[in-house]
Amino acid sequence: MTAGLREIPAEELTAEQAAAELEALARELAHHDKLYYGDAAPEISDATYDALRRRNQAIEARFPELIRPDSPSLRVGAAPAAGFAKVVHSKPMLSLANAFSADEVGDFVARLHRFLGLDPGAPIEVLAEPKIDGLSAALRYEGGRLVRGATRGDGQVGEDITANIRTVDDVPKALAGADAPELIEIRGEVYMRRSDFLALNQAQTAAGKAPFANPRNAAAGSMRQLDPRVTAGRPLRFFAYGWGEVSGPIGATLEEARDRLESWGFRLNQPARLCRSVDELLAFYEETFGTRGELAYDIDGVVYKVNRLDWQDRLGMVSRAPRWATAHKFPAEQAQTTLKAIAVNVGRTGALTPVAELEPVTVGGVVVSRATLHNEDEIKRKDIRPGDTVVVQRAGDVIPQVVSVVKEKRPKGAKPYRFPRRCPACGSRAVRQEDEAARRCTGGLVCPAQAMERLKHFVSRDAFDIEGLGEKHIEAFWEDGLIKTPNDIFRLKERTEELKTREGWGEQSVKNLLAAVEQHRDIALERFIYALGIRQVGQATARLLAKQYGSLGAWRQAMEAAEDREGEAYRELVAIDGIGPLVAADIAAFFAEPHNRAVLEELARELRVADFEAPAGASPIAGKTVVFTGGLETMTRSEAKARAEALGAKVASSVSAKTDYVILGAAAGSKAKKAEELGVTTLSEEEWLALIGG
Ligand code: IVH
């Protein structure tokens, strides 16, 4: 009976039907809770369980008077009904650029000088502190009270983990003292101590559950529990290292800000030291590296941050990381093992990538059985042969790699490796362009590996992210001919009957999948562009394109027109800062392929792709295109550019009819003339500063 009822949308149920279904749901969910938490033997997938909870919630929302005393939604610490809700970060949560050597630390500091327009010898105070490998979280306090916790997610949108974060002892539920701003979002790292991690793994193993690979995975896994009671039982801790949105000033320097965070009740990454030169930074790094074993938790490097907050503002960010900070990573951990074989994978762009299949070995606490061999030349250069004993290395969360061969241990008769000249997936010729490291399959669309990898990318987390449609499903559906192109995903409902008869699938799981697909017919332009998997168009580039062209229609039209290398559309494309001729060539190649255009055409019909929304809506220059020319007096060119971009403007390098403002510095030349010819507004530096608010 309930299965029949569940076909009816919650909005259309009668009160009588609703009561019957709520009763059934209470019974079923209690049963599944017991299986999951009590017996650790769930019968249904998490997605199916979530769907039941969502259904319960939807009916209760419509008929609050029918909420039962034994309702699953009233159970203490019950799981959030719909998995985790999404949280849009009011300020993006960034990642950090990395330095791996003393030279790279020198480059970081030199860049600070250049950007701030300081003499190379001028001291810049930089705060150094340990870098913890956990998972970042944002804690929002309003009126001094913790109101929300969120994960980083993709940096723009994270997951609501409020209930879970409240279970962490280190996280103040209310800020101490009376001087906290009305609104502040504290950012920091959730982590686990080594000893707690080992104890947890022992308990996991004793309970017949899989142990975690490392403390970071254990922390992340614990934080992503749908039931906060499980999280509460995990030994999680929190270090604060920064903040996002804040309603009032928090100090003039990072040092001052750290003192305030501490006074409000947070623990901070220790030890921290204020340094004034590259040498001082490197000394801190060496000391921290040498004494890291004395810390109770693992660290994977140190972080350097400019101390003055006004300088941090000026430095801003680049791509997805602040320009005012960098991580200096510790050298990777290494181990020796046998290379059983070299497998060759075919990626979505047809690149053949060699992968080492290894005798499993523990490297830095993680069992590694596969490692990257990078490419053909690397194998040749290191003379890596199947059967060799190799040195495997892991650094942070980077994919493990084969560093070198232990030649003394080479078995007799090991033959040099010959890289395949044909695609292992489709047998087409695999060729190498002169300037490229990778050999590529020429099979294009006839190559199943490429098509399948593209589909996997299409549904991946930062692209369409369809719940219940992961890599494994794509592979299985591909094999059975259910999904061959992205459009097939959105036409799955035509194959409902076929889906239901698949092994492991039933009425409810098919329904859930189709519902998840429906939900994703709405997508932001930048995600959509990224999902297409055009070579060299990662998230940052997809965002640049979305920002520049605004809508799917405008973008498609411009990209098709950009095939003409002499035309205005091509010029506009390569003038986007961050998109050079090489990226433009890859985009043009994508659009030159009739099949790709056809896929786009169909997708455009199936989906609702939302126009790009510029951040910082109130900014007077949001969405405008500006060009700087001549020398500026109050700031360096890169700083001016970064500020304009932070306010939502696009900065172009050449003037066209689409330019909104040209900012004239000293000795502005041909661009000023061009602006005049085209009737584009020109501004002096002073006028520009007035426009953007100083
Ligand atoms: S500062 C990017 N300081 O490392 C925003 N981050 O690899 C400023 N992390 O996303 C970050 N310890 O989650 C900062 N002392 C520390 C840190 C730290 C760990 C994490 C953080 C960041 C990631 C980048």
Q: What is the pLDDT of residue 347?
A: 87
Lowest mean pLDDT among 9-13, 280-284, 486-490, 635-639: 635-639
Q: What is the pLDDT of residue 365?
A: 66
| Top-ranked range on mean pLDDT: pick from 5-9, 69-73, 595-599 | 595-599
Looking at the whole model, is its pTM more than 0.85? no
Domains along the chain? 2-75 (1.10.287.610), 98-329 (3.30.470.30), 333-409 (2.40.50.140), 425-613 (1.10.150.20), 625-692 (3.40.50.10190)
Q: What is the pLDDT of residue 395?
A: 65
Mean pLDDT of 352-377: 87
* For the chain, percent of residues with pLDDT exceeding 70: 95
Two structure tokens written together for 485: 């192109």
The H or E element spanning position 236 is strand 236-246
- Is the C-beta atom of 243 inside 6 A of ligand 1? no
Classified as helix, coil or strand, 405 is strand
Lowest mean pLDDT among 158-172, 377-391, 428-442, 536-550: 428-442
Strands 625-629 and 650-651: parallel
617 compared with 650, residue with greater pLDDT = 650
Query: Residue with the nearest Cα to atom 12 of ligand 1?
Result: 131
Classified as helix, coil or strand, 142 is strand
462 compared with 186, residue with greater pLDDT = 186
Q: How far apart are CA 104 and CA 130, in angstroms?
A: 18
Mean pLDDT of 292-300: 88
- Is the C-beta atom of 312 inside 6 A of ligand 1? no
Phi, psi of 44 (to 5 degrees): -125, 160
User: For residue 642, what pLDDT band results from cuts at 50, 70 and 90?
Assistant: confident
Q: How do residues 79-92 score in pLDDT, each as one tens digit?
A: 333 478 889 999 99
Contact 366, 213 (CB under 8 A): yes
Query: Residue with the nearest Cα to atom 15 of ligand 1?
Result: 131
Active-site pick, 86, 131, 209, 415: 131
327 CA from centroid of ligand 1 (Å)? 8
Lowest mean pLDDT among 149-153, 413-417, 486-490, 622-626: 622-626
101 CA from centroid of ligand 1 (Å)? 18
457 CA from centroid of ligand 1 (Å)? 27
Two structure tokens written together for 251: 């100090």
Q: How do residues 28-81 score in pLDDT, each as one tens digit?
A: 888 877 666 545 566 777 677 778 888 888 888 788 778 777 777 665 333 333
Q: Which atom of ligand 1 is nearest to the CA of 98?
A: 7
Q: What is the pLDDT of residue 539?
A: 87
Query: Residue with the nearest Cα to atom 21 of ligand 1?
Result: 136
**Mean pLDDT computed over every residue of the chain:** 88
Contact 227, 244 (CB under 8 A): no
142 CA from centroid of ligand 1 (Å)? 23
Beta bridge partners of 238: 190
Q: How far apart are CA 342 and CA 395, in angstroms?
A: 22
- Is the C-beta atom of 95 inside 6 A of ligand 1? yes
- Is the C-beta atom of 463 inside 6 A of ligand 1? no
620 compared with 77, residue with greater pLDDT = 620
131 classed as catalytic? yes
Query: Residue with the nearest Cα to atom 13 of ligand 1?
Result: 136
- Is the C-beta atom of 325 inside 6 A of ligand 1? yes
Mean pLDDT of 431-457: 83
User: For residue 597, what pLDDT band results from cuts at 50, 70 and 90?
Assistant: confident
- Is the C-beta atom of 303 inside 6 A of ligand 1? yes
Two structure tokens written together for 619: 């900014």
